[in-house]
Copies of this chain bind each other. A is one copy, B any other.
């Protein structure tokens, strides 16, 4: 049974605060083990990758080779159904089209003093994409991570994916090819992160690593951060559905379960101003659960972390939704746009009852890598900017320098930095050295 919280209950504030504070995932303390793996890869390179893959993935990379061959890529594609490949192609095209709109503009202007200012965006020179093996090996995630990097103009996009018992998901390899990623290594875990960060004989290091992974991968990304860039560390996923009574409870129930089936640590929350509707959704969840192949996972997520929040009025929704800061927010009310406009914290908003979140997961074109676990308070979903960086540009001539130097020199002196002061003063006092 999910929690049922009612804003008019006297204990609501405390119960809601406790609900927000719940930990949904206890990350195993794997720091020491991961540090040892990283050291091993730095010291022994490919040899360490081969030994660790034998140990953790039960696969002999000395025989198979670290890199997935063109022949294997071709075979993987042939192993996929046409229907799925076509769907992946539609998704890839839509993702590319949407993300192209995120390409930022360079800026350059001259102000009234004659100072030229601006900035220039450039792509990160190389990116490594981590893809989990086994059950969580999702082709859709390959597209969502690789295509924004390609749109950004990253010259080298590399993928790593473990092959437990030698197996690779053909759909993952097909998605990589659709996204234009052809440099793929069959390695995973902390050793793959170390190889991407520091390089080995076979694998040149990258400048940034993105993509989800287990506790070992997350710990390794934290440890190599600084040497390379990383994306955010993904936590368990969640959906908040704000729905009034003018909805089919079965639709809303299916949306809550689509979230819950990901993972027992996933969270599905319904917020409604109608208790009877809430009960109808709860009953529909119970019915649908029995029909789902992943019903055990979804059922555990729903009963342990699920919640129904009963509002006195939909007017209470924005403030509470901002505190939840959901990764996914569906709004199925009479005027969903008005409610959406009042919300600050959400990874993505799905507006109106005909916009189930799964459309965003797969095909809409927007990114499904979104801030989880309340981090939408301060971070954004994955996008093109995550694969670019901005270089600030500044250009003065002698006249502009003469205008700006005095206050800059005053501040340098106030901060006790006389060499800073000198580097302006010396230009005002002595010739450039450049033949005029």
Please give the residue numbers on chain A whose beta carbons come within 8 Å of chain B beta carbons, in ascending order: 81, 83-84, 86-88, 90-91, 97-98, 101, 107, 109, 111, 115-117, 119, 122-125, 135, 138-140, 171, 207-208, 222, 226, 228-229, 233, 235, 246-251, 254-255, 257-258, 260-262, 288, 292-294, 298, 322, 336, 340, 343-367, 370-371, 373, 375-381, 383, 385, 389-398, 400-401, 404-408, 410-412, 414-424, 426-427, 430-435
Contact = CB atoms under 8 A, between A and B. Distances in A.
A435 to B, nearest CB: 6
Contacts of A115: 364-365
B355 A395 contact: yes
A249 to B, nearest CB: 7
Contacts of A90: 407
Contacts of A414: 81, 84, 87, 139, 171
Given A83-B410, A366-B394, A392-B348, A261 B293 contact: no
Nearest to A421: B358
A389 B376 contact: yes
5 smallest A-B Cβ distances: which pairs?
A229-B378, A248-B433, A87-B407, A348-B392, A254-B423
A383 B390 contact: yes
Q: How many copies does the complex hold?
A: 2
22 contacts: A84-B410, A86-B410, A115-B365, A116-B351, A125-B345, A138-B415, A226-B233, A228-B378, A229-B377, A249-B433, A292-B418, A343-B391, A346-B391, A349-B393, A351-B394, A354-B427, A355-B401, A358-B412, A364-B394, A378-B389, A383-B390, A385-B385
Contacts of A340: 393
Contacts of A353: 427, 432-434
A392 B417 contact: no
B423 A251 contact: yes
B349 A423 contact: no
